[in-house]
Structure 1
């Protein structure tokens, strides 16, 4: 179990790095997509799949989760600017 936490921290760290580079390089679609996937999988490894699921799909956080995951989907479909705006808005709603 301890190894999953270490791997998760590494995945989340690489995910944040790729997201930062994707924004820095004028919203590069590939870097943002890889960053999103790595960050979410890293979060699931650190706190567990069940806790991650319960965190995102609590009754009072469902709107924020839909906006956040909708933003990730939009980035993966090739609209990085719109997707990142939706992700940031969803992230702010999640931790409000």
Structure 2
């Protein structure tokens, strides 16, 4: 969990410092290392190569390589974000339901139109 937390922190810092390439690359590497340590190498490979998540994996790694090799963070970072969204969009209903239980923002998130939008976006994606 430590590497995944560091990964999130580095992504946020990379965005705050106007898409700093070094921070984003370190965030990517710590994300991959953290995922391997959390679920194992075999399960990580299975996760990225799963048929329903292959499109997201391709975009994530394409953005990773564009950022590293061509040094085009402005192109690579959006590709990575799109890939991560494609891979994890099936988790949106869980995150939405958890967020509605927060004391302050929960009542604002309990909007039927917002719930419908979350369900529509996540229904198009593969199941976990």
What stretches of structure 1 move > 4 A for 4+ residues in a row? none
Q: Which of the pair has the greater relative contact order for Cα pairs under 8 Å at 6+ separation?
A: 1
Distance 2:79 2:51 in 1: 20
Equivalent residue for 2:5, pick from 13, 17, 27: 13
User: Unaligned regions of 5+ residues in structure 2, if any?
Assistant: 90-128
Aligned to 1:62: 54
Aligned to 1:6: none
Larger radius of gyration: 2
Offset, 1:20 = 0.7
> How many residues were matched structurally?
88
CA RMSD of aligned residues (A): 1.0
Q: TM (normalized to structure 1)? A: 0.85
Distance 2:5 2:52 in 1: 28
User: Unaligned regions of 5+ residues in structure 1, if any?
Assistant: 1-8
Distance 2:61 2:53 in 1: 12
Q: TM (normalized to structure 2)? A: 0.65
